[in-house]
A and B are shown apart, each in its own frame.
Chain A
Amino acid sequence: MQNSILWFILLIPSLSAIFLLMLPESNKKVIRNFAFITSLIPFILTLFVWFGYNQELGGYQYQTNVPWFEAINSSFHFGVDGISLPMVLLTTLLTPLAILASYGIEEKIKAYMALFLFLETGVLGVFISLDLLVFFLFWEIGLIPMYFLINQWGGAKRDYASLKFILFTMGGSLGLLLSIQLIGVTVNSFDLIKIGEIWPQLNQSTLQSAIPLHLSLESVKAIAFWAFVVAFAVKVPIWPFHTWLPDAHTEAPTAGSMILAGVLLKLGAYGFIRLVLPLFPVEAQQFSGILAGLATAAIIFGALSAFAQKDLKKLVAYSSINHMGFVILGIAAIASSYQAGNAAISESATIALNGSILQMFNHGLSAAGLFFLVGVIYDRTHTRQLEDLGGLWAILPVYGSIFIFTSMASLGLPGLNGFVSEFLVVRGAWHIFPLATALSMIGLFATGVYVLKAIGLLLQGPRNNRWLQLKEINKREVWVIAPLMVLMLVIGIWPAWILEMINNAVKLFF
């Protein structure tokens, strides 16, 4: 079935960016509104896809396939299922909000907005492509705009941060390209569905001719597996590949951090789920224990590092490491249970992965929200140092309450979204990795510690007369955060609408 709606979702941001570049720089209002309104179109189209997706049927839908490099059998093959659709929704939702959050940007606004829109195309391409080479293409496309966003509109240490970001990620993805080539040459196709059918069942004898460099199949698989893992681990980031994150997040402009934390981190985890687990089940199972250990390390150390921060934005940045640790823990759980043959274990693994995917979505909401709120304060005070702030609740009651709500979602308070996904991950992983899960409870506790520290140092305490003139959060800013808050509450109270989508896909996928 050919259905071009995904093409529209994918390309409208880029087309709009190109058109934007032709507008006169002087009229900032038009540029902003144009960027915002055109970024809403993919969101609306995504809603159509969401409601049009047939959950009974499952699998990849809205597929479209246009040849690209016929000589090497690579094509623009797009499609969405219950795993990628939530990510697409997250991306198309967060981009307009990020653009709306950037209305305060004054310099080089045309380039800024255009980069955001190009970025959206890059990210969406990763989520919807069903062709490895195209996947890689978009993977790299997503990288460049973010580099410039940090480098041009970032904070004081932006050069260091942007360089670290791009080198780290590019370094990770070198191996990715190599192993994609290896797989492509071996299978003689880059089509993900085809590879998914052929690749895991390959055996040495039938294929020797196709394998380059006279490698054995085991070594090809091992090389490819590790290359994939490193590329995605850097992106998630998995401890200890995480140190680019606090710098990049802290130095990026507010909207950049929103997208970086909200969407870009999900690319790594998505890569694990979409590529590593189905293509390398055996290797993934073999190393799942290590993965669970690293996830636990991320959960605990991320939380402790967040607690140690004096810079509010850095604190929020470290909280991402902590939260993404739960995503990885769930992925490790399902990796470990490959062909377990035990219904109870399989059920736990499915629950864990459901939790992981929902956690990706939830973290997208709460991290983007928190970064935005940090930005709101920074715009007004020009400081992010917690010791300079404090006592703001008395001055900004509405902002304070919004901040507490959002940070409670991030903390995993039951009734809000974070709890549902963390509960599912813990429930599933406890059955498979009891020790890692028990240890990660330390991180869960420490999450509470740093969140309360942030609230305490930012909002509570005696009224700080230095900030008496601060303006309350304005209407536009409320419009940025309100959709996120509504989703946090809705998912917390009634998660079934999104979880059903995820659950059906996960059941089919594994």
Chain B
Amino acid sequence: MNYEILTWLIPLPPLAAFFLIVFFTNKSNKLSHSLAIIAAGLSWAVSMLVFIWAIGPHGVHERIISSSINWLPTADNFLKIGIQVDALSTISLFFVSWTVLMIFVYSVGYHNFGYPKGDHDLPGLPPHGSTKVNAVGKAISTLSVEPMYSRFFALISLFAFAKFVLVVSNNLLTLYIGWEIMGLCSYLLIGFWYAKPSAKAAGIKAFLTTRIGDVFMLLGLASLYTITGSLQYDVIFSPQVLNQLVNSISPVFGLTWASLIGLLIIIGVIGKSAQFPLHVWLPDAMEGPTPVSAMIHAAIMVSAGIYLAARFFPIISAGWEGGIALTPVMLVMAIIGSLTALFAATIAITQTEIKRVLAYSTISQLGYMIAAIGIGAYTAAVFHLVMHAFFKALLFLGAGSVIHGMEHGIHHSGEHIDPQDMFNMGGLRKKMPRTFITFLAGGLALSGFPLITAGFWSKDEILAGAFNGGYIVVFAVLALSALLTAFYTMRQLTLIFFGKPRSEAAKHAQETPWTMTLPLGILAIFAIAAGWAGIPEGFPVIGGKIPNWFGNFLGIMVPSGEHAAEHHSLVPLITSLVVSLGGLTLGYIAYRAFKKDQKDPMEWSLGGFYKVLVNMYYIDEFYDWAFIRPSKWIAEKVVYLWMDLRIIDGFLHAIANFSVWIGNLLRKKFDTPIINSGGDALAASTRKAGSEMRVMQSGRVQDYMILAIAFLLVGGLFIVFILL
């Protein structure tokens, strides 16, 4: 089989689905979702073919697929674009195609396919439900189908297209194109219910916050392209180019070009992967429908940032020879990543909205990956990226299922409560057993429950990398975050599923349809089992018994080796056991007997700090005060009203007024008195002379005779005496 052509084809089915839905099937919900799912299925199937080839004996270890075409003529050259399959894209292709397909299937159930149209539903608002008359003639209230059902599937298809483009690209330009189209889709999907002011604001916030990173990234691209004349991975990551970048000094702060470009790109990553200080968009992104949250937070959008960072590892780490002396870019990443991991985890322990907890947990886990790349633990970072994609997609979809079940209950009970508030839930494990089991699997994986979950293996590897590499501060911060992670995960699990129902709705919650629970089940299998593909050789007892397939496979991406020491200490292992189990136990103890209307135990245990955490360190407020308002003020008052209208137009009007004034002056002082009056005077005096001369024109012959004689006399005398 020709795997090059197959790889070119991977992104296309979702794009085709997007156009077909937009132009042809937008009236039919059934056709639209069928198209979208078939397209996602095709991409999945082709991805799997490529994946199976890639991991096989003649796969990417033997040769990397790469093919390019000319795209932009630039002076005497061409900028090429193309596709590539190497170990990193293989791994990404695997988890992206799986999660995408699961999310597509799940969306059918989530958007209430099969339910009637809502009584008062409007496009741009979530469905409110409809009433239907049952067999006995009694009106009962039920769910209603999403009014913009087809549009949703069109947009997620476009989103999937963009992500596939990003993964199979062999150059930064098409990666950037995919990256930005995802930005657009996330804007449109977060703001999917655009009539809700909060959703609209969240969409704008997401787009603009990530765009801050993107403009820096664009400069990074421009620099790289200027220096190397190419944006292809095989050129820009070649040893000669790296050598050139490390040894040339950029004009900024005396950094090498490698560092400057690395930093510019990493700012883009920080925006996309929601790291401090550009993390603010992600919690608000929860305004979107839940499948969107899953896509954005787990599988697609945020993982793009980590993917890029991993791609860029050769430049980020250029000049690093292992050990404590990190390159400036790595140092920045290590600091930002571990800070964000801890900081987001502290916020997560106080949130009460089910999806917000997961959002902050995502920020925190992404921090792990950034920090891991920062300390050079490349394989561990990518491993965690994949594991996280599975269990976080699972958790988000599970949360959507829980919310869905609660909405069912609300329709039944008629209460006016928030279906997303965990304090209104409780005891759902009996009502929603499938959701419970799968959510539990995801939660345990997130908290790194030892041995059986995927999250344990990946997190353990990061901690081991930090400890063994000697980055003790990073290690300590990440370990503390892991403790908090386990704690808030158990807090969430306990609040939702254990104890007694804390509302009528929770009592009447209902399990969701198979289109939702089937994807949960499949993702749960990955959340548990996928980690076994990466058990390190050095692990006590079972290490080496199962081959560390993941490490071996991805190892070729860093040909020089990772400089990371082998497992030679039990400290990180014991730490991860303690923090994970300890956090889980604490969480269960604190919340197992939580009652309705009770105060959150966090509130009394944290004291004044609780308020800071609930308000997310007041960062949104600070940004508003420090950046948003001043820029609005500058744009409106300074640039427009003052500069344009007052200064420039004022100057013009002054010139105009001056010309008018000059004109008036000329008229009053010159035209009127001199020209006008002069002319008038000439006319008047002529007339006067005429009227005075009139007396001579008497008409009598005698008078003329006298005059003629007089002239002759005077003339004769004049000639005789004066001229002669």
B159 to A: closest C-beta gap in Å? 13
The proximity string for B residues 570-609 relative to A, scoring 1 for CB distances below 8 Å and 0 otherwise, is 0000000000000000000000000000000000000000
Task: Give the distance in Å from the alpha carbon of A82 to the alpha carbon of B124 in the complex.
Answer: 46
Do B208 and A347 touch (CB < 8 A)? no
Instruction: Knowing A243-B648, A304-B635, A304-B640 are in contact, say whether A456-B200 is a contact too (CB < 8 A).
Output: yes
Verify if A445 is at the interface (C-beta below 8 Å from B): yes
- Residues in B whose Cβ lies below 8 Å from that of A413: 180-181, 184
Closest-by-CB residue of A relative to B212 is A445
In Å, the complex CA distance between A461 and B125 comes to 10
Q: Are A444 and B218 in contact (CB under 8 A)?
A: yes
A452 at interface, CB cutoff 8 A: yes
Complex interface: chain B residues within 8 A of A80 (CB):
none
Q: Indicate if the CB atoms of B75 and A346 lie closer than 8 Å.
A: yes
Q: Is the CB of B180 within 8 A of A499?
A: no
User: Measured between C-beta atoms, what is the minimum distance from B632 to chain A in Å?
Assistant: 8
9-residue interface stretch from A99-107, A213-221, A365-373, A389-397: A389-397
Complex CA distance for A496 and B80, rounded to whole angstroms: 11
Q: Measured between alpha carbons, how far is A309 from B635 in the docked complex, in Å?
A: 9
Query: Could you tell me if B75 and A460 are in contact, using CB atoms closer than 8 angstroms?
Result: no
A414 to chain B, nearest CB (A): 4
With CB as the reference atom, state the residue of chain A lying closest to B637: A308
Q: List the B side residues contacting A305 at CB < 8 Å.
A: 635, 639-640, 644
B469 at interface by CB-CB < 8 Å = no
Binary B-proximity of A238-272 (CB < 8 A = 1, otherwise 0) = 00101100100000000000000000000000000
Select the residue from A242, A414, A423 with max chain B CB neighbours within 10 A: A414
List A308-363 residues whose CB lies under 8 Å from chain B.
308-309, 344, 346-348, 350-351, 354
Asked if A301 CB lies within 8 Å of chain B CBs, one says yes
Q: Is residue A194 contacting chain B, with contact meaning CB distance below 8 A?
A: no
- A243-B649, A414-B176, A423-B218 known; A308-B635 Cβ under 8 A: yes
Contact of A108 with B by CB under 8 A: no
Contact of A420 among B22, B72, B123 (CB under 8 A): B72
Point out the residues of chain B lying under 8 angstroms from A167, CB to CB. Answer: 656
In the complex, whether A463 has a CB less than 8 A from a CB of chain B is: yes
Q: How far is the CA of A308 from the CA of B123 in the complex (A)?
A: 29
B216 contacts A by Cβ under 8 Å: yes
Q: Which of B70, B194, B656 contacts A496 (CB 8 A)?
A: B70
**Interface members, chain B 117-150 (any A CB < 8 Å):** 122-124
Bound CA span A414–B187, Å: 15
When distances are taken between beta carbons in the complex, the residues of chain A under 8 Å from B251 are 434
B515 lies within 8 A of chain A by Cβ: no
**Distance of B236 from chain A, by nearest CB (Å):** 14
Q: Find out whether the CB atom of A460 lies under 8 angstroms from the CB atom of B222.
A: no
B195–A347 CB distance below 8 A: no
Whole-angstrom CA separation of A301 from B640 in the bound complex: 8
Decide: A431 and B70 in contact? CB cutoff 8 A: no
Q: Is B721 an interface residue (CB 8 A)?
A: no
Chain B residues within 8 Å of A347, by CB: 74-77, 229
Chain A contacts for B240, CB-based, 8 A:
none
Answer whether A463 and B195 are a contact pair too, CB < 8 Å, given A397-B123, A414-B177.
yes
Q: Which of A462-510 contact B (CB under 8 A)?
A: 462-463, 494-496, 499-500, 503, 507
Interface residues of A in 145-196 (CB under 8 A from B): 164, 167
Collect the chain B residues with CB atoms within 8 Å of residue A351's CB.
74-75
Judge if A307 is at the interface, Cβ distance under 8 Å: yes
Task: Looking at the assembled complex, report how far the CB atom of B27 sits from the nearest CB atom of chain A, in whole angstroms.
Answer: 11
User: Which residues from B are CB-within-8-Å of A462?
Assistant: 124, 195-197
* Chain A residues numbered 405-464 whose CB sits less than 8 Å from any CB in chain B: 408, 413-415, 419-420, 423-424, 426-427, 430-431, 434, 437-438, 441, 444-446, 448-449, 452, 456, 459-463
CB distance from A466 to the nearest CB of B (A): 15
Q: Is the CB of A414 within 8 A of B75?
A: no
Residues of the B chain whose Cβ atoms lie less than 8 Å from the Cβ of A496: 70-73
CB interface residues, B 71-128, toward A, < 8 Å? 71-77, 122-124
Question: B521 within 8 Å of A by Cβ?
Answer: no
- Does A308 contact B636, Cβ atoms closer than 8 Å? yes
The verdict on B241 contacting chain A, using a C-beta distance below 8 Å, is: no
Most buried by A among B176, B222, B648: B222
B 47-89 contacts with A by CB, 8 A: 70-77
Tell me if B681 counts as interface (CB < 8 A to partner A).
no
| Cα of A307 to Cα of B631 in the assembled complex, Å | 10
* One of A346, A441, A456 near B219 (C-beta < 8 A): A441
Q: Are B225 and A427 in contact (CB under 8 A)?
A: yes
Question: How far is it, in angstroms, between the C-alpha of A456 and the C-alpha of B216 when the chains are bound?
Answer: 25
User: B223 at interface (Cβ–Cβ under 8 A)?
Assistant: yes
**From residue B227, how far is it (CB to closest CB) to chain A in Å?**
9
What distance in Å separates the Cβ of A314 from its nearest Cβ neighbour in chain B? 10
Q: How far is the CA of A307 from the CA of B123 in the complex (A)?
A: 28
Judged by a CB distance under 8 angstroms, whether B536 is at the interface is: no
Residues of chain B within 8 A of A397, CB atoms compared:
123
- Please name all residues of chain B whose beta carbon is closer than 8 Å to the beta carbon of A423 when the two chains form the complex: 173, 218, 221-222
The 0/1 profile, CB within 8 Å of B marked 1, for residues 89-121 of chain A is 000000000000000000000000000000000
**How far apart sit A444 and B219, CA to CA, in the bound complex (Å)?**
11
Least Cβ–Cβ distance between A436 and chain B, in angstroms:
12
Cβ contact within 8 Å between A445 and B635 = no
Determine the chain A residues whose CB is within 8 A of the CB of B632 once the complex forms. Answer: 307
The verdict on B497 contacting chain A, using a C-beta distance below 8 Å, is no
Instruction: Give the residues in chain B near A242, CB-CB below 8 Å.
Output: 648
Q: Tell me if B634 counts as interface (CB < 8 A to partner A).
A: yes
List 20 A-B residue pairs with CB atoms under 8 Å apart, sorted by A's residue number.
A246-B644, A301-B644, A304-B634, A304-B639, A351-B75, A354-B74, A394-B123, A413-B184, A414-B177, A419-B180, A423-B173, A430-B226, A431-B226, A449-B208, A452-B207, A460-B194, A460-B195, A462-B197, A496-B70, A507-B76
Write the residues of chain A forming the contact surface with B, with a CB cutoff of 8 angstroms. 164, 167, 240, 242-243, 246, 301, 304-305, 307-309, 344, 346-348, 350-351, 354, 391, 393-394, 397, 401, 404, 408, 413-415, 419-420, 423-424, 426-427, 430-431, 434, 437-438, 441, 444-446, 448-449, 452, 456, 459-463, 494-496, 499-500, 503, 507
Residues of B near any A CB (own CB < 8 A): 22, 70-77, 122-124, 173, 176-177, 179-181, 184, 187-188, 191, 194-197, 200, 204, 207-208, 211-212, 215-216, 218-219, 221-223, 225-226, 229, 251, 631-632, 634-636, 639-641, 643-644, 648-649, 652, 656
Beyond A308-B641, A445-B208, list 5 extra A-B contacts (CB 8 Å). A423-B173, A430-B222, A495-B72, A496-B72, A503-B74
